[in-house]
Amino acid sequence: MKPAITRIHAIEHDPGSPTLADVAQLAGVSTATVSRCLNTPDRVSEDTRRRVLDAVRQLGYAPNFGARALASRRTDTFGAIIPTMEAAIFARGLQAFQDELGRHGITLLVASSSYSPELEEEQIRALVARGADALLLIGHDRTPESYAFLAKQRTPHVHAWTFDASREFQSIGFDNGKAMARLTHKVLDLGHRNIGLISAPRVGNDRARQRCEGVREALATRGLPPDSLRLIETPYSIANGAAAFEELMSQDTRPTAVMCGNDVLAAGALSRARKMGLRVPQDVSVTGYDDIDIAEIVTPALTTVHVPHRAMGRGAARMLVAMRNGEDPGPSVELEATIAERESLGPAPVTPGH
Amino acid sequence: MKPAITRIHAIEHDPGSPTLADVAQLAGVSTATVSRCLNTPDRVSEDTRRRVLDAVRQLGYAPNFGARALASRRTDTFGAIIPTMEAAIFARGLQAFQDELGRHGITLLVASSSYSPELEEEQIRALVARGADALLLIGHDRTPESYAFLAKQRTPHVHAWTFDASREFQSIGFDNGKAMARLTHKVLDLGHRNIGLISAPRVGNDRARQRCEGVREALATRGLPPDSLRLIETPYSIANGAAAFEELMSQDTRPTAVMCGNDVLAAGALSRARKMGLRVPQDVSVTGYDDIDIAEIVTPALTTVHVPHRAMGRGAARMLVAMRNGEDPGPSVELEATIAERESLGPAPVTPGH
DNA sequence: TTGTAGGCGTTATCAG
DNA sequence: CTGATAACGCCTACAA
């Protein structure tokens, strides 16, 4: 009879992951003691602790996160949703974010939204459902439902990569438009009057929108007609940047300077320029935005807007930790984005391209 | 009496996140029905479903992942642990991995180990504890404890970015050494005899080790003395690549070709070459490995080893899904890494640098 | 189609 | 210092 029972047991109860109870049994203590060993080791006698930890190791026990979260109502996990993982635009900032969180014993979960507010909303729900105690969001463009959801869930969140004093939201970043305007003024100072702009799709991307607006504003400030600007919108990728550049340069009035909403697009523009036999910056100037790694290694090195990636990541982490702890995160903070002057921007050619 | 009870309840129960019960109450149904609405909508009448979903929206309800996982013993979440998020080396493969998982309704959690086996072990535990149903791992170098843990937990896992038939583990990737050897033969065919090699730290990184070995083997095959190779180890970064390159070129017998274990290092080498006034490939050749985006946009375009990022990511996902479903994932698969011939590799200069 | 009730693995509150 | 035991929020037979 006994074998039969054992058999049935073996069939019904798949000996899956070891549980607290397994450890307790092996160590000859109660589950409560095991739990204490893991969470508040000082409240357990040296002796039993050793025994329990041995059992833990022996079984390869790992606490079940779900059960733990369920019981303790806290996960020590933060989430971040970035538009893309592929372009490396957010990599450095995210790394800084993660480093700072690590310092507080917090784990980071990352999801990407592919620049789609709808997808982002899904990711927000997924991350919160997974128990994220707080969320890092990029920019301000998202569905109203996202905000309603966050509010109902009372999930602390900060907006990074942007700064908008008019918003009621906690944010840390820089004025995307202001920096772009400053760069545009530099371009104009160099005599350029026909300007091309390659932007990422602006819908659902306030940074892209603000960067475009920055250019427009600068143009307006200098009394230049709006149609001195040729704008192409295209998703972030080197290939798209290249194609957009070529299109820009095939128009009857060629721009003498092509500004890009992003270093990735600019890198594409640069490589296509070379392929087209155009010298940069002698024949045409190119500028970028973000100052990611490739900006420096591309030829010629890219004149671009330097973004304070690390400071944003670190700052966002600190704010979020404060909020999670019920402390005051302080006001939104505006960081400075500066112009990194390198080689791809030069004076306008005397005879503009035809 | 009733009011009093209600009161106590209100005080004790912080109105935190809305729960299934809240939704059920608002919709006037049982929790079971709400659960069904969310998981098997077809088993619920059109009418009640609408009512329930309304309630869900109204309360901003999100299922508690922990509770759900606890009850259903499945998370539909896979994990991936990559050495670094910063270098973009794994970005494309990871994207493909995620895309394929998405097709199966699986969410991806990503963690990075900073090339440290100890840190990786921690991340493995964290991900498994969080309920990852399966794991994507890079390479074979990890602590024995990691493997013991994975075995005890019965967590399906595959090794990517490498292929090693001698292993018992499920893997999908390419032979890092073979591809590097092939590239080395090409270099030798072009007359180079003094070769510099910039590698990532080899400890805890079997890919780096195999790539180095690939060079050594090719050299040996051609009967060249081992000291015709100058090796520098340095962590992946553009700056480090640049510094290593300069160091290599400052030795008394300058290499005529500098091979790099990675495109990032190669990009650094390239930019430093330019700064040093060295023409590539006329004065010195440079090669990379991985064929990530920057390989094409750098000047001159990088001759490098093309790695089947997407195929690996997709394949790994399929294997893992099969394993999770208790199906046969098939054997380990070896993919081909090819040489992407571009401009940075040329014949050895007639008069080698002194 | 819907409701009832038991259990998932931990933590936390009480007693001992 | 340690051991019962009641939540925690959800899923899923089983019943109705």
pLDDT string in tens for chain A (354-residue length): 223 222 233 333 345 678 998 999 899 999 999 999 888 888 888 889 999 999 999 888 888 888 888 888 778 889 999 998 777 789 889 989 988 998 888 888 888 888 999 989 988 988 887 788 899 999 999 999 999 889 888 889 999 999 977 667 899 999 999 999 999 999 999 999 999 999 999 999 999 999 999 999 999 999 999 888 999 999 988 999 999 999 999 999 999 999 999 999 999 999 999 999 999 999 999 999 999 988 988 889 999 999 999 999 999 999 999 998 888 888 999 999 999 999 999 999 986 444
Query: Hunting for tokens 């060079």 — which residue is that?
Result: B215
Using pLDDT thresholds of 50, 70 and 90, give the confidence band for residue B4.
very low
Q: Distance from first CA to last CA of chain B, Å, rounded? A: 98
For the CA of B71 and the C1' of C9, the distance in angstroms is: 10
Contact A86 B95 (CB under 8 A): yes
Distances (CA, A) of A276 to A166, A232, A245, A273, A284: 44, 19, 10, 5, 11
Q: How far is CA B192 from CA B224, B227, B276, in A?
A: 11, 14, 21
Strand C contact with A95 (CB < 7 A)? no
Phi and psi at B33, nearest 5°, equal: -65, -45
**What are the chain B neighbours of A68 within 8 Å (beta carbons)?**
66, 129
Query: Residue B348 corresponds to which tokens in the numbers above?
Result: 């050895």
Give the C-alpha separation, A322 to A267, whole Å: 39
Domains assigned to chain A = 20-63 (1.10.260.40), 75-174+309-336 (3.40.50.2300), 176-307 (3.40.50.2300)
* Cα A24 to Cα A22: distance, rounded to the nearest angstrom: 5
CA B155, CA B133: separation in Å to the nearest integer?
A: 7
pLDDT, residue B7, reads 30
pLDDT for B1 equals 27
Q: What is the mean pLDDT of residues B64-93?
A: 85
Q: Is the CB atom of residue B43 positioned under 7 angstroms from any atom of strand C?
A: yes
Who has greater pLDDT, B353 or A215? Answer: A215
Model confidence, pTM: 0.81
Positive or negative torsion for Cα A162, A164, A168, A173: positive
CA distance B266 to B248: 13
Measured between CA atoms, the residue of chain A closest to residue B85 is A91
User: With 90 as the cut, is the pLDDT of residue B136 above it?
Assistant: yes
Strand nucleotide closest to residue B24 (CA to C1'):
C3
What per-residue confidence (pLDDT) applies to A41? 86
Give the closest of B18, B107, B130 to A152, CB-based.
B18
Closest CB from B107, B111, B153 relative to A17: B153
Antiparallel, parallel or unpaired: β B338-340 and B304-306: antiparallel
Chain B nearest CA to A109, separation (Å): 6
Q: Cα–Cα distances in Å, from B291 out to A35, A93, B112, B235, B295?
A: 48, 24, 21, 18, 6
Note the CA–C1' distance, B220 to D4, in angstroms.
70
pLDDT over 70 (residue B354) = no
Provide, as residue numbers in chain B, all residues whose Cβ is less than 8 Å from the Cβ of A129.
62-65, 68
Does B237 have pLDDT greater than 60? yes
- Do the strands A195-199 and A107-112 form a parallel or antiparallel pair, or are they unpaired? unpaired
Chain A contact present for B336, CB below 8 A: no
Q: Which residue has the higher pLDDT, B235 or B167?
A: B235
pLDDT at B193: 95
Taking contacts as CB-CB distances below 8 angstroms, the residues of chain A near B63 are 129
Does residue B119 belong to the interface with chain A, where contact is any CB pair within 8 Å? no
Closest among A208, A199, A300, A294 to A241, alpha carbons compared:
A199
The answer to whether strand D lies under 7 Å from the CB of residue B10 is: no
Minimum distance, in Å, between the CA of residue B333 and any CA atom of chain A: 25
Which bases of strand D have any atom within 7 Å of the beta carbon of a protein residue?
Answer: 1-5, 7-13
Please provide the DSSP assignment of B262-323 as one string.
Answer: SHHHHHHHHHHHHHTT--TTTT-EEE-SB--THHHHBSSPPBEEE--HHHHHHHHHHHHHHH
Task: Kindly determine whether residue B126 and residue A107, on different chains, have CB atoms separated by under 8 Å.
Answer: yes
Left, alpha or beta for A188 (phi > 0: left; psi -120 to 50: alpha)? alpha
Residue of B nearest to A72 (CA): B66
B47 Cβ contacts chain C strand, under 7 Å: yes
pLDDT digits (tens, 9 = 90+) for B26-43: 999 999 999 999 888 888
Question: Residue A82 is inside which H or E element, if any?
Answer: strand A77-82
Question: Does residue B274 carry a pLDDT above 60?
Answer: yes
Mean pLDDT along residues B259-280: 95
What pLDDT shows up at residue B11? 33
**pLDDT number for residue A188:** 97
pLDDT at A86: 75
- Better-predicted residue by pLDDT, B12 or B126: B126
Indicate if CB(A21) is under 7 A from strand D: no
Name the residue with higher pLDDT: B1 or B301: B301
Cβ of A16 within 8 Å of Cβ of B293? The answer is no
Q: What was the pLDDT predicted at A88?
A: 78
Taken in order B188, B242, B229, B210, the sign of the CA dihedral is: negative
B210 versus B114: the higher-pLDDT residue is B210
Q: Is A2 on the interface with B (CB under 8 A)?
A: no
CB pair distance less than 8 Å for A95 and B73:
no
Query: What is residue B8's predicted lDDT score, i.e. its pLDDT?
Result: 31
What is the band of B222 on the pLDDT scale with cuts at 50, 70, 90? very high
Instruction: Evaluate if residue B103 carries a pLDDT over 90.
Output: no
- Give the pLDDT score at B15: 53
pLDDT value at residue B9: 33
% of chain B exceeding 90 in pLDDT: 61
C-alpha distances in Å from residue B86, one per residue of A99, B168, B200, B253: 13, 31, 15, 34
Q: Which helix (H) or strand (E) holds B26?
A: helix B20-27
The closest of B94, B84, B80 to B313, measured between CA atoms, is B94
pLDDT over 80 (residue B308) = yes
* Helices B46-59/B20-27 angle, 10° precision: 120
Q: What is the pLDDT of residue A283?
A: 97
pLDDT tens profile A27-71: 999 999 999 988 888 888 888 999 999 999 988 888 888 888 888
pLDDT at B166: 65
What's the confidence (pLDDT) of residue B269?
97
